A and B are shown apart, each in its own frame.
Chain A
Amino acid sequence: MILLMGPIDELVTSFFLAHLTDTKSEYLFVDQRHLGTQVRLELDLAPGPHASRRLRGAVCFPTWRVDLEDISGIFSRLGTGGVREHVTPEVRAERAHANALMDLFHGPVANRPTAMVSNNSKPCQYAAILAAGLSVPDTLAGGDWRLWEPFARGLTGDPVIKSVSDERSLVKQVSWDDTRAAFLPGRPPPPHQFQQRISGTNVRVHVVGGREVFACRAESQALDYRHPDMTGHPVHLRATTLPEPVADACRRLSCALGLHLSGIDLIEPPGGSADPRDWVCLEVNTCPGFMWFEQHTGLPIAQALARSLQAPLAS
């Protein structure tokens, strides 16, 4: 059965739960608020063959338990939904146990906590993106005017400015003069990331299990299509098919980052191309909110995810 963890009324958690219910799939649900209060995890790792083959343990409820041997795959939305909790040492410990379970579990996990951290730093992801055969925007992160000016001279038009980390920031296009004026003279500027603005169509790709690829175009005039209301531009989502070399590059990228489920933001070059090097990858979302894309395009992402997490385990 699938182990699903998260707050029950978080969008993607409830969407996926509803899918499992509707399809009569076997699952075990652990609400985030029960971890450390009503649910405990027990894990045991005796020396022997590889960790993934010797993990034993159980998800323990007050009066019943489910052995890990009965779990085929794990989907976690822990930490989403902004649930306010009273975080006791027990809660903290059980969250850490859940992270340990997800990192050590022998079957598929969407996603392992250690695989999710790459999104904390965009330049870290760029290394993986380039290695997978896709392109990244010309970028300068950090530095000061002595580096920014030569970088700016190589750009076409004004740069886009965005955060280096995963902290939420509004992606903006700024002029160099305004940027220069915004920083206080004599003080080191805070870190920023400047990028070449890329023209083309936004394409969101979800890769499930390193194999199945679901792509949709997000047609919008907005600089960041995920924030259309801020600019007044509407967004239209529709399913699309990627050229196979581009889909392969997405699979490679998802696997390289160790992600069972990824949301890859691409820009398709004007006129299209089958060469992955012509496609620019902006980032890889390691906890993708796929529900919205599925609802608007009909792409069966939840179904693919459920199928992949139910796959029989190799002995």
Chain B
Amino acid sequence: MGGLFPGEAACEASGSMPKLVLVGAELFPHLRDLLRAEALRAGFRAVEVPVRAWGATTTPWVEVKGGRFRAGLLGPEGPEELEREDVFWCLSEGPLPPEEDYLRAEREALREGFHTTCPARTLNRRGLLSVPWTVPSWRLLAQQLPAREGACVLAPPHFHVGTPPEDGRRWKPWPQEAGGTDARVWWTVSAPGPLHMAWVMGQQVSLWSVEDGGGARVAPTPELAADLARLAAGCGAEFLEVLLVPSASPTAWAALQLSFVPEGLESMLSGEHPALVEQAEHFVRAQLAGQEVGP
């Protein structure tokens, strides 16, 4: 049953096949190939909604009856329901097309409502009750870290809001590229080491040195892996990318940026990084099977 929605992958399908519904997968072509392959292997029908169609020509619907939610998508070919055995991942979500304020707010509210209530197993669930999608990223770092009580090794940068302090330290403005904010936010880290990127997928954590565009895998300490996993769990995220640097002492790390969209993963998948491909495959396979991804 191909072509239900624009851009839908042509896959074998039957009425009883569970669905893997992806929004915005066209922006992550390498990850999309991986997801399609895993869907085929697991007997899922891949349904793809381009980011531009989401909320515009393919719209969500939500029903609650007797306290039970149903939700689905309405595309050019008709309504499609997402059920508990289906898997949903909105990889990217763009702004809605311009129209009258009222209609725009209504469409936005419908999208948010769908994300919150969709009964399908959802990766990185969005919606107005999910912190990653309602809190600016610098504040999320400040609020979520340290991620656990006790001897944490992962901390946020030192943040200052307002005019930059004149305390002899170097302060950098929070980059707009890291998530727009109207606030005047300054940050600094003591003795920052080389830039690293961590991928948390379920409970599995991998750490890579990415200074100067490289990509060398390094083993995280158990404490760092635990902090990263707790950070993802605190944000309600199954998938999380963290940009981080060693700071001050050999065991201390500062997290600079959180991303719930697989931007970095897509970049790495385009290179030769079999260990990361394997981690991503393992993660997707477990999600489709409805299993926890162990450490």
Does a CB–CB distance below 8 Å link A and B in the complex?
yes
Instruction: Please determine whether B60 and A142 come into contact, CB atoms closer than 8 angstroms.
Output: yes
Give, as a whole number of angstroms, the nearest-CB distance from B158 to chain A: 5
B254 at the interface (CB under 8 A from A): yes
CA distance A154 to B113 in the complex (A): 22
Residues of A within 8 A of B162 (CB): 40-43, 57, 97
| B 198-236 contacts with A by CB, 8 A | none
Residues of B within 8 A of A103 (CB): 135, 139, 143
Instruction: Please determine whether A165 and B108 come into contact, CB atoms closer than 8 angstroms.
Output: yes
Give, as a whole number of angstroms, the nearest-CB distance from A111 to chain B: 13
Residues of B within 8 A of A147 (CB): 61, 63, 74, 79
A80-101 to B contact mask, C-beta < 8 Å, 1/0: 0000000001001101110110
Residues of B within 8 A of A127 (CB): 69, 116-117, 129
Q: Which among A130-138, A287-295, A297-305 touches the partner chain?
A: A130-138
Q: Which among A116-124, A175-183, A218-226, A247-255 touches the partner chain?
A: A116-124
CA distance A164 to B181 in the complex (A): 27
CA distance A188 to B110 in the complex (A): 15
Instruction: Please determine whether A45 and B159 come into contact, CB atoms closer than 8 angstroms.
Output: yes
Closest to A117 in B: B128
Instruction: Please determine whether B161 and A43 come into contact, CB atoms closer than 8 angstroms.
Output: yes
Closest to A42 in B: B162
Out of B103, B128, B181, which one reaches A121, CB within 8 Å? B128
| A 220-271 contacts with B by CB, 8 A | none
CA distance A106 to B21 in the complex (A): 40
Give, as a whole number of angstroms, the nearest-CB distance from A109 to chain B: 13
B94-105 to A contact mask, C-beta < 8 Å, 1/0: 000000011101
Give the one of B110, B116, B163 with max A CB within 10 A: B110
Q: A104-B143, A142-B60 are in contact. Are A97 and B183 (CB under 8 A)?
A: yes
A157 at the interface (CB under 8 A from B): no
B230-274 to A contact mask, C-beta < 8 Å, 1/0: 000000000000000000000000100000000000000000000
Residues of A within 8 A of B67 (CB): 130, 135-136, 277
Tally chain B residues at the interface, Cβ within 8 Å: 54
B78 at the interface (CB under 8 A from A): yes
Q: A138-B66, A191-B59 are in contact. Are A47 and B157 (CB under 8 A)?
A: yes
CA distance A181 to B256 in the complex (A): 54
Closest to A140 in B: B63
CA distance A48 to B248 in the complex (A): 13
Residues of A within 8 A of B155 (CB): 47-48
Instruction: Please determine whether B163 and A124 come into contact, CB atoms closer than 8 angstroms.
Output: no
Give, as a whole number of angstroms, the nearest-CB distance from A194 to chain B: 9
Instruction: Please determine whether A164 and B161 come into contact, CB atoms closer than 8 angstroms.
Output: no
B166 at the interface (CB under 8 A from A): no
Instruction: Please determine whether B74 and A142 come into contact, CB atoms closer than 8 angstroms.
Output: yes
Give, as a whole number of angstroms, the nearest-CB distance from B73 to chain A: 9
Instruction: Please determine whether B106 and A191 come into contact, CB atoms closer than 8 angstroms.
Output: yes
Instruction: Please determine whether A46 and B110 come into contact, CB atoms closer than 8 angstroms.
Output: no
B277 at the interface (CB under 8 A from A): no
| A 32-61 contacts with B by CB, 8 A | 40-51, 57
| B 61-89 contacts with A by CB, 8 A | 61-67, 69, 74, 78-79
| B 95-146 contacts with A by CB, 8 A | 101-103, 105-110, 112-114, 116-117, 127-129, 131, 134-135, 139, 142-143, 145-146
Instruction: Please determine whether B143 and A97 come into contact, CB atoms closer than 8 angstroms.
Output: no
Residues of A within 8 A of B139 (CB): 100, 103-104
Q: A50-B146, A165-B105 are in contact. Are A151 and B128 (CB under 8 A)?
A: no
Instruction: Please determine whether B131 and A114 come into contact, CB atoms closer than 8 angstroms.
Output: yes
B165 at the interface (CB under 8 A from A): yes
A28 at the interface (CB under 8 A from B): no
B278 at the interface (CB under 8 A from A): no
A185 at the interface (CB under 8 A from B): no
Instruction: Please determine whether A190 and B106 come into contact, CB atoms closer than 8 angstroms.
Output: yes
Instruction: Please determine whether B146 and A138 come into contact, CB atoms closer than 8 angstroms.
Output: no
Instruction: Please determine whether B64 and A126 come into contact, CB atoms closer than 8 angstroms.
Output: yes
CA distance A45 to B187 in the complex (A): 9
CA distance A57 to B185 in the complex (A): 13
B170 at the interface (CB under 8 A from A): no
Q: A45-B158, A124-B127, A142-B74 are in contact. Are A136 and B112 (CB under 8 A)?
A: no
Give the one of B103, B108, B159 with max A CB within 10 A: B159
B177 at the interface (CB under 8 A from A): no
Instruction: Please determine whether B63 and A121 come into contact, CB atoms closer than 8 angstroms.
Output: no
Closest to A196 in B: B65
CA distance A127 to B155 in the complex (A): 33
Residues of A within 8 A of B65 (CB): 138, 151, 154
Out of B66, B157, B159, which one reaches A44, CB within 8 Å? B159
Closest to A137 in B: B64
CA distance A188 to B55 in the complex (A): 12
Residues of B within 8 A of A97 (CB): 161-162, 183-184
Closest to A48 in B: B155
Instruction: Please determine whether A136 and B64 come into contact, CB atoms closer than 8 angstroms.
Output: yes
Give, as a whole number of angstroms, the nearest-CB distance from A55 to chain B: 9
Instruction: Please determine whether B109 and A42 come into contact, CB atoms closer than 8 angstroms.
Output: no
Q: A41-B161, A45-B159, A164-B106 are in contact. Are A123 and B182 (CB under 8 A)?
A: no
**What residues make up the interface of A, taking CB atoms closer than 8 Å to B?**
40-51, 57, 89, 92-93, 95-97, 99-100, 103-104, 114, 117-118, 120-124, 126-128, 130, 135-136, 138-144, 146-147, 151, 154, 163-167, 169, 188, 190-192, 277
Q: Can you list 18 contacts pairing A with B, beta carbon distance less than 8 Å?
A: A42-B163, A44-B165, A45-B160, A97-B162, A97-B183, A100-B161, A120-B128, A121-B113, A123-B62, A123-B64, A130-B67, A139-B62, A142-B74, A147-B79, A163-B109, A166-B105, A166-B109, A167-B101
